[in-house]
A and B are shown apart, each in its own frame.
Chain A
Amino acid sequence: VQLVQSGAEVKKPGASVKVSCKASGYTFTSYYIHWVRQAPGQGLEWMGIINPSRGSASYAQKFQGTVTMTRDTSTTTVYMELTRLTSEDTALYYCARGTVGTFWDYWGQGTLVNVSS
């Protein structure tokens, strides 16, 4: 099982970023994918969950309206797009495989998003 994320991004305030998470080594539609972020020197923050089978997603209240999670079953890739970026969105973004709940058995390597003017 592997989750491989896209590379680091540098964005200006107000811009959008789209991070990818390519899954391999298991049946893509059998597990949910969660997104978790970690600001520099801070703790972990859950952003939301996508069901790769149905394409349906649910987001933490804080991110509703600014985050969109999608998937492409043909490439077994999940995407997380965050819009209207501010400096407070500077963080490492992780995707993690799991169920509904907090059981995450495989994690991506993380993608650093740096929002700076």
Chain B
Amino acid sequence: QSVLTQPPSASGTPGQRVTISCSGGSSNSGSNTVNWYQQLPGTAPKLLIYNYDQRPSGVPDRFSGSKSGTSASLAISGLQSEDEADYYCAAWDDSLNGALFGGGTKVTVL
């Protein structure tokens, strides 16, 4: 289906590991790469992970990505207060011939 599904929220204490899932279908995450974006409050989105598991220069290695079937995951290890943000997955959808975003996951550091 032409939808990317993310949990609306995730939380953890400083130092913990948090994982966010992104579930799609054969026309999007199953056949095209999934990228992840971090949006800090009041700012534009920032590329966090591309091609499922690649980090752009400057992104800390506590952020990692993976893929399994038609799903992708973003993990934040060693959670820090500055990681409190909204996280979005995105993938091209061949049926729509356009880009899809997941609904976003708000990460809270307790």
A94 at the binding interface (Cβ < 8 Å): yes
Chain B residues touching A, majority SS:
strand
| Docked CA distance A113–B50 (Å) | 30
Chain A residues touching B, majority SS:
strand
A34-B99, A43-B103, A58-B98 known; A107+B91 contact, CB < 8 A: no
A10 at the binding interface (Cβ < 8 Å): no
When each residue 27-57 of chain B gets 1 if its CB lies under 8 Å from chain A and 0 otherwise, what string results? 0000011110101000011110011000010
Assess whether B44 is in contact with A102, with CB atoms less than 8 Å apart.
no
| Docked CA distance A62–B20 (Å) | 28
Assess whether B33 is in contact with A44, with CB atoms less than 8 Å apart.
no
Give 17 pairs: A residue, B residue, CB < 8 Å, sorted on A.
Answer: A34-B99, A36-B101, A43-B101, A43-B104, A45-B101, A46-B99, A48-B98, A59-B98, A60-B99, A101-B32, A101-B35, A102-B35, A102-B90, A102-B91, A105-B56, A108-B44, A109-B44
Interface residues of B (CB under 8 A from A): 32-35, 37, 39, 44-47, 50-51, 56, 86, 88, 90-92, 96-104
